[in-house]
Amino acid sequence: MATKHILIVPGDGIGQEVTTEGKRVLEKIASVFGHTFSFDEALVGHAAIEATGDPLPAETLDKMKKSDAILFGAVGHPKYDNDPSAKVRPEQGLLRMRKELGLYANLRPIKLFDELLSASSIKPEILKGADILFFRELTGDIYFGEKGRKNNGDTAFDIAEYSRYEVERIGRKAFEAARTRSKRLCSVDKANVIETSRLWREVIQKLALEYPDVTVDHQFVDATAMLLIKDPRRFDVVVTANLFGDILTDEASQIAGSMGMLASASIGDGPGVYEPIHGSAHDITGKGIANPLASILSAALLLDISFGLKAESNAVIKAVEALLKEGFRSADIADANTPADKILNTAAIGEEVLKRIGK
Ligand code: NAD
């Protein structure tokens, strides 16, 4: 029996709507499995700017640091999308949160539910059974090194840097995850050309000696980009640097078909942050039709990764699978064959998940 404190940070737009359902699922898990979860809520993004002038108020950060895990919604508002020069912006809240909480690994499970095979642009026979867990490094690489211009601005440079320590700490997380899955790890780099990649490979090879039960495959990023589409089932746990991970995880998200289904986790040494990969979706905000399953699957990740509650996490995933099997869909994942009475709104999808937990 676990006693944990969870901070709910809904943010903006549909972030509010979907996070409500994620929280309801966590409450249901606590009651079915006999855990004690306490909840608090905090502002971020546009909602926080409106209330305090700051996209990540000190009070929010303080609550985050005191929590055991954070269920996050999304940030963003059309006001800023149309005004790139705005000095205070919702996404600053997101970036500062990552930095302040020292979140160095972004985990993205890419799992296609069989019932949604037709929603992907890749052939069903190639996709069926694909189940990949990406580990993208978040704090190093070309994003954070020295950058600038020379030759009167006609030449630009961005320095990519990685330390042994940075590669090792995410490498360990990936090896440990591989141990709990199929014991296969694919490390992606460009060690034939890039020096940071040569260090990356050296560190992963050394770590591999500590995990003799895990089979490691080193792959070049260009080959990985091709193989992800050609044969996604060959991958299980994948670990890679910040830039390669940025590109490969977006490519891989298409394997799962819809944005409304994909969850992610950002972890560091403190509380983990669990959030859908989608944004605040202004086009559907307030209509009650947002798909809450990415937030609900983020709650499942939270249970597994931050609390080690594997059975509870699986109970959530099984409930989602069951409702999809019975034909229930939110509008974004419905197709021409979905009967009108099976297309449910946000709260009703949440309700269907709750009904199936503990059965
Ligand atoms: P988006 O992910 O919000 O929406 C893209 C499309 O997918 C939209 O048509 C939307 O209706 C649909 N969609 C997304 N989630 C859905 C769901 N759960 N159910 C049903 N349909 C869903 O991306 P965008 O439109 O490019 O950006 C909107 C805002 O979100 C912007 O302000 C952007 O800056 C912000 N954003 C935030 C994050 C984040 O908080 N992590 C990520 C991406 C974008």
Ligand 1, pocket-test mutation among 280, 293, 295, 333, most atoms within 8 A of CB: 280
- What mean pLDDT is reported for the chain? 94
**Among residues 255, 287, 313, which one ends one of the domains?**
255
- Cα distances (angstroms) measured from residue 313 to each of 25, 123, 269, 303, 357: 10, 29, 21, 5, 10
**Among residues 255, 279, 309, which one ends one of the domains?**
255
Is 267 close to ligand 1, i.e. is its CB under 6 Å away? no
- pLDDT of 86 over the 90 cut: no
- pLDDT of 203 over the 80 cut: yes
Q: What local confidence, expressed as pLDDT, does residue 141 receive?
A: 92
Are 234 and 136 within one domain?
Answer: yes
- pLDDT of 113 over the 80 cut: yes
Are 215 and 99 within one domain?
Answer: no
Nearest-atom number in ligand 1 for the CA of 72 is 40
Strand pairing of 131-137 and 237-240?
Answer: parallel
Q: What local confidence, expressed as pLDDT, does residue 98 receive?
A: 87
Is 81 close to ligand 1, i.e. is its CB under 6 Å away? yes
Nearest-atom number in ligand 1 for the CA of 291 is 19
Q: What local confidence, expressed as pLDDT, does residue 54 receive?
A: 97
Are 251 and 278 within one domain?
Answer: no
Are 92 and 167 within one domain?
Answer: no
**Do residues 200 and 160 lie in contact, with contact meaning Cβ atoms separated by under 8 Å?**
no
* Domain count of the fold of the chain: 2
Average confidence (pLDDT) over 126-137: 93
d(CA 41, CA 238): 33
Are 138 and 249 within one domain?
Answer: yes
Residue 328 lies in a domain: yes
Residue 112 lies in a domain: no
Of 1, 237, 223, which is closest to residue 111 (Cα–Cα)?
237
Are 78 and 204 within one domain?
Answer: no
- Measured in Å, residue 202 CA sits from the centre of ligand 1 at 38
Is 76 close to ligand 1, i.e. is its CB under 6 Å away? yes
Please tell me the residue having the least CA distance from ligand 1 atom 16. 260
Is 283 close to ligand 1, i.e. is its CB under 6 Å away? yes
Are 55 and 168 within one domain?
Answer: no
d(CA 6, CA 40): 7
- pLDDT of 120 over the 80 cut: no
Q: What local confidence, expressed as pLDDT, does residue 152 receive?
A: 95
Residue 297 lies in a domain: yes
Average confidence (pLDDT) over 81-106: 89
Q: What local confidence, expressed as pLDDT, does residue 352 receive?
A: 97
Residue 236 is a catalytic residue: no
At 290-329, the pLDDT tens digits run: 999 999 999 999 999 999 999 999 999 999 999 999 999 9
d(CA 357, CA 359): 6
- Measured in Å, residue 46 CA sits from the centre of ligand 1 at 14
Are 220 and 150 within one domain?
Answer: yes
Please tell me the residue having the least CA distance from ligand 1 atom 33. 76
- pLDDT of 230 over the 80 cut: yes
**Range of weakest confidence among 117-126, 161-170, 233-242, 313-322:** 117-126
d(CA 340, CA 329): 10
Residue 182 lies in a domain: yes
**Per-position DSSP letters for 305-359, written without gaps between them:** HTT--HHHHHHHHHHHHHHHHTT-B-GGG--TTS-GGGB--HHHHHHHHHHHTT-
Are 100 and 173 within one domain?
Answer: no
The band of 111, judged by pLDDT with boundaries at 50, 70 and 90, is: confident
| Residue 112 backbone dihedrals phi, psi, to 5 degrees | -100, 120
Q: What local confidence, expressed as pLDDT, does residue 121 receive?
A: 79
Q: 308's torsion region: left (phi>0), alpha (psi -120 to 50) or beta? A: left
Query: In degrees to the nearest 10, what's the CA dihedral of 188, 120, 316, 331?
Result: 140
**Among residues 238, 255, 272, which one ends one of the domains?**
255
Are 69 and 140 within one domain?
Answer: no
CATH number of the domain to which 42 belongs? 3.40.718.10
Q: What local confidence, expressed as pLDDT, does residue 83 receive?
A: 83
- Measured in Å, residue 265 CA sits from the centre of ligand 1 at 17
Ligand 1, pocket-test mutation among 9, 75, 79, 278, most atoms within 8 A of CB: 278
Residue that wins the pLDDT comparison between 321 and 112: 321
Residue 356 lies in a domain: yes
- Measured in Å, residue 280 CA sits from the centre of ligand 1 at 5
Residue 202 lies in a domain: yes
Please tell me the residue having the least CA distance from ligand 1 atom 8. 281
Identify the domain containing residue 80 by its residue range. 1-106+264-359
Q: What local confidence, expressed as pLDDT, does residue 74 receive?
A: 96
Residue 114 lies in a domain: no
User: Which helix or strand (DSSP H or E) is residue 274 part of?
Assistant: strand 272-276
At 237-294, the pLDDT tens digits run: 999 999 999 899 888 888 876 778 899 999 998 999 999 999 999 999 999 999 999 9
Residue 111 lies in a domain: no
Ligand 1, pocket-test mutation among 259, 283, 295, 343, most atoms within 8 A of CB: 259
Are 321 and 239 within one domain?
Answer: no
Is 273 close to ligand 1, i.e. is its CB under 6 Å away? no
Is 188 close to ligand 1, i.e. is its CB under 6 Å away? no
Q: What local confidence, expressed as pLDDT, does residue 115 receive?
A: 84
Catalytic, out of 4, 162, 190, 332 = 190
Residue 190 is a catalytic residue: yes
Are 134 and 22 within one domain?
Answer: no
